[in-house]
Structure 1
Amino acid sequence: MSLLHVEHISHRFHGRTALDDVSFDIERGEIVGVIGRSGAGKSTLLRCLCALERPQEGRILLDGADLTSLGERELIAARRRIGLVFQHFNLLESRTVAGNIALPLQIAGTPRKTQAQRVAELIELVGLSGQAGKRPSQLSGGQKQRVGIARALAAGPALLLCDEATSALDPATTTAILELLTDINRRLGLTIVLITHEMDVVRRFARRILVLDHGRLVEDGSIADLVRDGVENRQIATLLADIRPQLPPAWQQRLQAEPSPGSAPVVRLTIGPDNTDLPLLSTLGSRFSVEATIVQGGVVDLAGASTADMILRLSGNVPPDAFTFLREISQTMETLGHVPADR
């Protein structure tokens, strides 16, 4: 049985559809990113997953318990199995680091000795040794988020929901928090769902991505699946634009849809981990007498795997066999257009 089973949920506010027939399953130990533009339905989905909203249609099962039909007393117990990490930390200034982390345990009536042991474990886990007595105002943004993560883990949840958990952080701190969450997933086997509008975050963190658009689930797959489908789906291509190499403006101005005498094709390739060590440019030259220039891109990390994502200009008379070769070694290939050969 999946840890989380979402079955045909729909939710509306004042006649406006926020979620429209959304279904998916999340297995134990998965890291899943949920992404979409503003208004796509991400926040509504989060509130439904943690039982703060009840969808008008469909079911949400957490470990077999239907969150949409539980009574309030049962919901209180079910919510303890869900940890929440917020964008703006939501820490209590009146409490120390240790006091903030202990709050869920105190609400649950956990014995004080057990609370102290658990808080000490979590402070060590999130890398805040020596900070237990500090107030939130004495902490950096990254440290505050570490406190928020520790607090979310206090009751031993089965599912960790992160709501734009890195949006308020600088790039270096974002990387550190993503590394912490990845380590927690590895060490505890905890299922993590990260809701964000930042494609770069899910690219580095999630092994699986759900894409919402106007309340509908339009994609469910790996980042490689999104790159492949983005060739045909402009909605997905727009999301990917933030993390994929783009043709420089000077090249865009000269790009022609159809070839002309002396023009050179410009192609976009993604090459999976099995072929990233291939000497691509020299192979094109020696085997097909094609001179290739990298216009943009190179080898990048996509969800933990090395992938080549690049735009190439191919010289002059490119034989059909060269295009066949490129299609065989790549996950996706598309011709963006043609430019004069002197570019």
Structure 2
Amino acid sequence: MRPILDIQHVTHAFGHHTALHDISFSIKQGEVVGLIGRSGAGKSTLLRCLCALERPQQGHILLDGVDLTTQTERQLVRARRKIGLVFQHFNLLTSRTVAGNIALPLQIAGRPRKDHAKRIAELLALVGLEGFEDKYPSQLSGGQKQRVGIARALAAEPTLLLCDEATSALDPESTNSILALLADINRTLGLTIILITHEMEVVRRFAQRILVLDHGRLVEDGSLLDILRDGQENQTLHKLLADIRPSLPAFIAENLSPSPLTEPHKTIIRLVLSGDSATTPLFSMLYAHYAVKATLLQGGVTTISQRLSGDIILSLEGEHIEQALAFLKTATQSMEVLGYVPSHP
């Protein structure tokens, strides 16, 4: 099946500054993808290229088989209607009602005016704002404004929805409701969604697949589990993951040594679990087979992309630590020794 979006070796520069370096990836119909990176990573430039607001110096961007980099301006007007945009600060017209804001893409696309009311009603029901058509943006909460923004983005029935920091201006409760709405839209409409953000917590809860940009380069393309596994060696991923990964308790971190101690000590490890390893009785197996006692210090098991997954920090103490570590390395997705602390600090 042909991907709905195919990015081929895209490079784009502003003067002597190269904002995007040889970016390539493709996205299938119905995928939910998180595009993440810190400030200056190239997210905004890539977004503008995806919307055909910037034309890269090298490479190709194919949307539903049409190469946006070769289209004339007149052709791009039509191509952009296949892309819905949801903005961080909503970008609603304050002089228009909710219905008026949602109708704007319909007017631009030249849809018959007699069809507007039905389409607006459908979209308001979809985003949970029935009865709000005559209200103005000033009468809405932040979460409600973003729901209007989503309805407007969907008005012309796009094939791709780009959400640019769509939850960054919202409180935690509104963020949860917007992410739930986007997930419901994906399930209901089969719509392909790309969420551009700097917040790993947002993509952890929402995205099936994560793209990581760093200094204009694509440094990771995979699931959150892939990123958790690779994050111990990749400094860019390590920094992005810092906000969502369990961290060492202070009393452990203060006494942690990078090398084994001569005195009795505990080995501190981090495990990434998924699928069978998330439900395997690892603690009892460690004690039964290796006489090693395991204590959970931080973390736990949760559901990621409909699979049980875990990211945990343990302390190990006992007779056959090396054999136990070898077992854990094969029985889990990732095992990392963080250091060593005295048995009785």
Does the 8 A contact of 1:316 with 1:341 survive in 2?
no
Q: 2:283 corresponds to which residue?
A: 281
Does the 8 A contact of 1:203 with 1:303 survive in 2?
no
Q: Deviations over 1:10-65 (max 9, x none)?
A: 11112111101101111111111100010000000000000011111111011111
TM-score (norm 1): 0.97
Q: 2:141 corresponds to which residue?
A: 140
2:278 is aligned with what amino acid? T
How much does 1:114 deviate?
1.1
Q: 1:234 corresponds to which residue?
A: 235
How much does 1:86 deviate?
0.1
* Percent identical: 62
Query: Partner of 1:306: helix, strand, or coil?
Result: strand
Q: 2:38 corresponds to which residue?
A: 37
d(CA) in 2 for partners of 1:43 and 1:61? 18
How much does 1:111 deviate?
1.0
1:56 is aligned with what amino acid? Q
Q: 2:116 corresponds to which residue?
A: 115
d(CA) in 2 for partners of 1:89 and 1:319? 54
2:160 is aligned with what amino acid? L
* RMSD between aligned residues: 1.2
Q: 2:320 corresponds to which residue?
A: 318
d(CA) in 2 for partners of 1:242 and 1:142? 24
Q: 1:341 corresponds to which residue?
A: 343
Q: Deviations over 1:167-221 (max 9, x none)?
A: 0011111111111101101110100001000001111111111100000001111
Q: 2:248 corresponds to which residue?
A: 247
Q: 1:167 corresponds to which residue?
A: 168
1:277 is aligned with what amino acid? T
Give the ranges of 4+ consecutive aligned residues of structure 1 lying more than 6 Å apart after TM superposition: none
d(CA) in 1 for partners of 2:319 and 2:18? 52
How much does 1:286 deviate?
2.7
Q: 2:87 corresponds to which residue?
A: 86
How much does 1:303 deviate?
3.4
Gaps of 5+ in 1: none
Q: 1:225 corresponds to which residue?
A: 226
TM-score (norm 2): 0.97
Gaps of 5+ in 2: none
Query: Partner of 2:70: helix, strand, or coil?
Result: coil
2:12 is aligned with what amino acid? H
How much does 1:9 deviate?
0.7
Q: Determine which of 262, 265, 273 is the counterpart of 1:263.
A: 265
Q: More deviation in 226-235 or 85-94?
A: 226-235
